[in-house]
Amino acid sequence: MKFFDLLSMSVSNLWRRKLRTFLTVLGVVIGTASIVVMVSIGIGMNRSMMQQIDEYGGLTTINVYSGDSYYGGGMAVAVSESGSSSGSQTEPVRLNDEMLQVLSGLEHVESVTPILSVDCLAKSGKYMANLSVRGIPAELLAQMNNMEVGQGTLPMPGDKELKFFYGNTVITDFYIEKTYQYYWETGVIPEIDFMEDPMYIIFDMDAYYASQYPSGDGTVTPPPKKYMVEACGVMAGDVEYYGANSSYVFCDLELLKEQLQRVFKNKAIPGQPTTATGKPYKEIYYNQVDVKVDDMDYMKDVQTQIQNLGLSASSNAEWIESQQESSNNLQMALGGIGAVSLFVAAIGIANTMMMSIYERTKEIGIIKVLGCDMRNIRSMFLMEAGFIGFVGGTVGILLSYGISFLVNYVASGQMGMAMGTGGAAEISYIPLWMPPVAIGFAILVGMLAGFFPALRAMKLSPLAAIRNE
Amino acid sequence: MAGKEKRPIIETRKLYKVYSLGENRVFALNGVDLSIREGEFCSIVGTSGSGKSTLLNMLAGLEKPTKGEIVIGGSHIEKMTENQLVKFRRENVGFIFQSFNLLGTLNSVENVALPLTFRGVKKEIRNKKAEEMLKLVGLSKQMKNKPTQMSGGQQQRVGVARALVMDPKIIFADEPTGNLDSHTSAEVMELMRRVVKEQHKTLVMVTHDNHLAGFADRIFHIIDGKIVKIEERENYREE
Ligand SMILES: Nc1ncnc2c1ncn2[C@@H]1O[C@H](COP(=O)(O)OP(=O)(O)OP(=O)(O)O)[C@@H](O)[C@H]1O
Ligand SMILES: [Mg+2]
């Protein structure tokens, strides 16, 4: 029998019983829509979670600190200090260029980004601020997430002079020098144009405070030198948008190193480790290295390897994992609720097909006597059931898009208020693979439900069927 | 007589069909041996309950015998599986029912074309063939009629056309005129006889009416599941 003939026979059989077919299809529509909507809510929540994680430092980044850091439980590996004979003195593993090489040599490590952090004071007009400056190689700055340029440019590789790139919330760190009033008290954004107004930076904060507040014995410390540092750009986003990098000032690593060495000469640079006797080391150590892993699955692995080197390492991996687990559980629960209604729809299909067989017993007998293949009879019934699934699934998907839109519309109205700019996340998200999968699934369910009725029809004895009046 | 030389197309040997109803055993067929020649019009006559329908159903492969052999065109159909039987019917057998058994949702052309659909024949071709057949049985004006829009005689003509459309070697008919008045019955019988003779088909017809049985070349008389008499009608309508 030709496929098209089979199909048109099946469809005309369904068409003959419009109302019943409609009701059965309606069951599938509701079943499909409830599964799709439930799963889409699960996916939407998962996605907004991921988006959130991404905003707070990425899914595949491990933050590495020196071994003596209090971040992440690094293993203290004993390294005896050079020249020191006493074994009691241990030296933590630190982050220098050599260590960078080691880290980038690890398997599954995509890139390593050294970060040198220093605090400094900034003065502009009547304002003053305590800035957190992060030196990162300029060529890596361009590749970082959450580094959208709002004004100007990022620090460029090949720049000759130290230039600052201000995070979008840095402006709120400035206070009026005389009154100590911050933005969060006044609600007035400091009137500083980073790109135009001159900015004076004081790196030697100790010396500055010593000059401001003389100690009791009357020794007068001269104020340290101020350096004028140009701004090359400002991050995108308003002052209320808290991205992972919003509160930092960024600059090129090498230029920062040079600057610090020039400022402090032979003195210890604040924030840098010193020898037991308080002397500075020859090289400058990094405060942090961000290791980017090529796949989330290797996060734990790489993190352990790094800790085995004697370094401290922390990442979102564990938190993400637990988040994912709970979001998976949620998805399963939601999907389960939907599955129940699809199951009910499947029973509906089976019932409809069964009724249809009772009604058509004689007809089936006749076509069997006339030489219709048993397989064709089975296919005809399976097709009818599958067709119900197909139509129900298709309409169900369309309905789901409608519901999904409504849910997001209502939710964005409410969340928009509560979450400010972050409220753009969709609660219900239907990924592109969902419609074909859902329709395929509905067809499958229909055919499964129609399978036993179809077998029954196939096995009907033609004689008994014909006698049936 | 030339007819005798023709080879048998249907043969049964020691055919038994036993129905068990609780303790009782009903011998619907009680050792039937018969041989039907190619191109012959046979009728099987007997009283009600004598086992006519049982015999016909068995010959058409709709029911399995309890014992015995049925050889049609050289193949033992009692050994076939249900699937093979369907194929066998599709290729060799046309069937005319007492109660017409047309599909109520289809019009005449579609009903006649139905067996061709099962053979995978294209729509244009099968509809053309069906129309030819309907013309042959004199229903050129009722092509688009549904069964409920036709008289019993017309419906049975559609039934005859449907049995013929596949060009089968054998046509089985179980009381084809059982639901028709005597005048219409005679008309349908004439039609069947004319068509099977023209197209050289073998027709096996069951009836309880001796007069209708008389349209056949040979008449098998069956009583209580046994063939008791075979009547030759070589000179039929030659007078
Ligand atoms: N499925 C069955 N179960 C039990 N007994 C049956 C069955 N089918 C037929 N019989 C019995 O077999 C015998 C022959 O039945 P069959 O239908 O062949 O009679 P028939 O000659 O066709 O009669 P009629 O002219 O009334 O159609 C009857 O006694 C009937 O009761
Ligand atoms: Mg009968």
Instruction: End-to-end CA distance of chain B: give it in Å, rounded.
Output: 17
Confidence band, pLDDT 50/70/90 cuts, at residue A415:
low
Confidence band, pLDDT 50/70/90 cuts, at residue A220:
confident
pLDDT of B220:
94
Q: Which domain holds residue B221?
A: 38-63+81-238
Which is the closest atom of ligand 1 to the Cα of A463?
Answer: 1
Confidence band, pLDDT 50/70/90 cuts, at residue A323:
confident
Q: How far apart are CA A41 and CA A427, in angstroms?
A: 6
pLDDT in tens, B137-163: 889 999 999 999 999 999 999 999 999
Judged by a CB distance cut-off of 8 A, whether residue B57 touches chain A is yes
- Quote the DSSP letter at residue A284: P
Q: Mean pLDDT over all residues of chain A?
A: 84
CA atoms within 13 A on the CB side of A325: 5
* Confidence check: pLDDT of B66 > 90: yes
Q: Which residues of B182-210 are buried (b: 16+ CB within 10 A; e: fewer)?
A: eebbebbbebbbebbeeeebbbbbbbbee
Average pLDDT over residues A233-260: 89
pLDDT of A61:
84
Whether residues A39 and A174 fall in one domain: no
pLDDT in tens, A138-188: 888 888 877 889 889 999 888 888 999 999 999 999 999 888 888 888 888
Whether residues A224 and A290 fall in one domain: yes
pLDDT greater at residue A269 or residue A24? A24
Q: How far apart are CA A250 and CA A336, in angstroms?
A: 48
Judged by a CB distance cut-off of 8 A, whether residue B228 touches chain A is no
Q: How far is B45 from chain A (nearest CA, A)?
A: 21
Whether residues A139 and A244 fall in one domain: yes
Q: Which domain holds residue A336?
A: 3-54+323-466
3-state class (DSSP) for residue A205:
helix
In B, minimum Cα distance to A370 occurs at B115
Confidence band, pLDDT 50/70/90 cuts, at residue A94:
confident
- Quote the DSSP letter at residue B169: S
Residue reference for tokens 């020649």 = B37
Within-domain flag for B176: yes
Token pair recorded at residue B220: 């098998």
Within-domain flag for B74: no
Q: How far apart are CA B220 and CA B205, in angstroms?
A: 10
Q: How far apart are CA A451 and CA A376, in angstroms?
A: 13
Residue nearest to atom 14 of ligand 1 (CA): B51
Whether residues A216 and A249 fall in one domain: yes
Which of B24, B30, B52, B223 to mutate to test ligand 1, by most ligand atoms within 8 A of the CB atom?
B52
Whether residues A215 and A286 fall in one domain: yes
Helical axes A374-419 vs A3-16, angle rounded to 10°: 70
Q: How far is the CA of B103 from the centre of ligand 2 (A)?
A: 21
Residue B10, amino acid: I
Residue list, ligand 1 pocket, CB within 6 Å: B 19, 21, 26, 28, 46, 48-54, 208
Helix (H) or strand (E) holding A360: helix A317-369
pLDDT in tens, A381-413: 999 999 999 999 999 999 999 999 998 888 877
Identify all chain A residues contacting B103, using CB atoms and an 8 Å cutoff: 363, 366-367
3-state class (DSSP) for residue B189:
helix
Within-domain flag for B185: yes
Whether residues A186 and A205 fall in one domain: yes
Within-domain flag for B3: no
Whether residues A162 and A124 fall in one domain: yes
pLDDT of B41:
92
Within-domain flag for B42: yes
Cβ(B12)–Cβ(B61) under 8 Å?
A: no
Token pair recorded at residue A112: 């390593």
pLDDT in tens, A16-64: 889 989 999 999 999 999 989 988 988 888 888 777 776 665 678 888 8
Within-domain flag for B211: yes
Q: Choose the weakest-confidence range: A141-145, A250-254, A366-370.
A: A141-145
Residue nearest to atom 22 of ligand 1 (CA): B53
Among A284, A315, A346, which residue terminates a domain?
Answer: A315
Q: Tell me how far CA of residue B125 lies from CA of A96, A286, A361, in angstroms.
A: 86, 86, 29
Sign of CA dihedral A64, A69, A70, A73: positive
Token pair recorded at residue A204: 């030697």
3-state class (DSSP) for residue B8:
strand
Task: List beta partners, residue A227.
Answer: A201
Whether residues A48 and A102 fall in one domain: no
Q: How many domains does chain B have?
A: 1
Confidence band, pLDDT 50/70/90 cuts, at residue A248:
very high
Average pLDDT over residues A222-230: 87
Q: How far apart are CA A243 and CA A169, in angstroms?
A: 9
pLDDT of A55:
66
Among A315, A332, A357, which residue terminates a domain?
Answer: A315
Within-domain flag for B157: yes
Identify all chain B residues contacting A16, using CB atoms and an 8 Å cutoff: 105
Listing DSSP states for A105-169 in one string gives HSTTEEEEEEEEEEEEEEEETTEEEEEEEEEE-HHHHTT-SS--EEEE-PPPTT-SS-EEEE-TT
Judged by a CB distance cut-off of 8 A, whether residue B91 touches chain A is yes
pLDDT of A62:
87
Instruction: Name the nearest CA neighbour of A157 among A137, A171, A131, A172.
Output: A137
Whether residues A182 and A308 fall in one domain: yes
Cβ(A99)–Cβ(A313) under 8 Å?
A: no
Token pair recorded at residue A155: 């620090």
Q: Tell me how far CA of residue A120 lies from CA of A204, A222, A301, B148, B185, in angstroms.
A: 7, 18, 37, 99, 115
pLDDT in tens, B15-61: 999 999 888 999 999 999 999 999 999 999 999 999 999 999 999 98
Which is the closest atom of ligand 1 to the Cα of B57?
Answer: 18
| CATH code at position B149 | 3.40.50.300
pLDDT of A436:
95
Token pair recorded at residue B58: 């068995």
Among A315, A349, A368, which residue terminates a domain?
Answer: A315
Closest CB to A372 among B95, B105, B118:
B118
3-state class (DSSP) for residue A104:
helix
Whether residues A290 and A338 fall in one domain: no
Q: How far is the CA of B56 from the centre of ligand 2 (A)?
A: 9
Whether residues A130 and A251 fall in one domain: yes
Confidence band, pLDDT 50/70/90 cuts, at residue A73:
very low
pLDDT of A416:
52
* Confidence check: pLDDT of B218 > 90: yes
pLDDT of A413:
73
Q: How far is the CA of B174 from the centre of ligand 2 (A)?
A: 7
β-bridge pairing A127-136 and A175-176: antiparallel
pLDDT of A69:
65
pLDDT of B234:
66
Q: How far is B7 from chain A (nearest CA, A)?
A: 26
Average pLDDT over residues B193-209: 90
pLDDT of B149:
94
* Confidence check: pLDDT of A418 > 60: no
> ipTM for the complex?
0.88
Most B CBs within 10 Å: which of A10, A13, A369, A460, as the mutation test of the B interface? A369
Q: How far apart are CA A173 and CA A182, in angstroms?
A: 7
Contacts 24+ apart (CB under 8 A), A392-395: A392/A24, A392/A25, A392/A26, A392/A27, A392/A28, A392/A29, A392/A31, A392/A32, A392/A345, A392/A442, A392/A446, A393/A28, A393/A32, A393/A438, A393/A439, A393/A440, A393/A441, A393/A442, A393/A443, A394/A439, A394/A442, A395/A25, A395/A29, A395/A32
Residue B131, C-beta contacts closer than 8 angstroms, at least 6 positions apart: B109, B143
Q: How far apart are CA A23 and CA A21, in angstroms?
A: 5
Residue A43, amino acid: I
Whether residues A183 and A239 fall in one domain: yes
Which is the closest atom of ligand 1 to the Cα of B46?
Answer: 21
Confidence band, pLDDT 50/70/90 cuts, at residue A424:
low
Q: How many domains does chain A have?
A: 2
Q: How far apart are CA A246 and CA A166, in angstroms?
A: 8
Q: How far apart are CA A394 and CA A440, in angstroms?
A: 9
Within-domain flag for B233: yes
Which of B25, B26, B226 to mutate to test ligand 1, by most ligand atoms within 8 A of the CB atom?
B26
Other residues' Cβ atoms within 10 Å of the Cβ of residue A365: 21
* Confidence check: pLDDT of B226 > 90: yes
* Confidence check: pLDDT of A79 > 60: no
Instruction: Name the nearest CA neighbour of A273 among A85, A78, A68.
Output: A68
Q: How far apart are CA A6 and CA A23, in angstroms?
A: 23
Q: Choose the weakest-confidence range: A190-199, A222-231, A292-301, B192-201.
A: A292-301
Confidence band, pLDDT 50/70/90 cuts, at residue B116:
very high
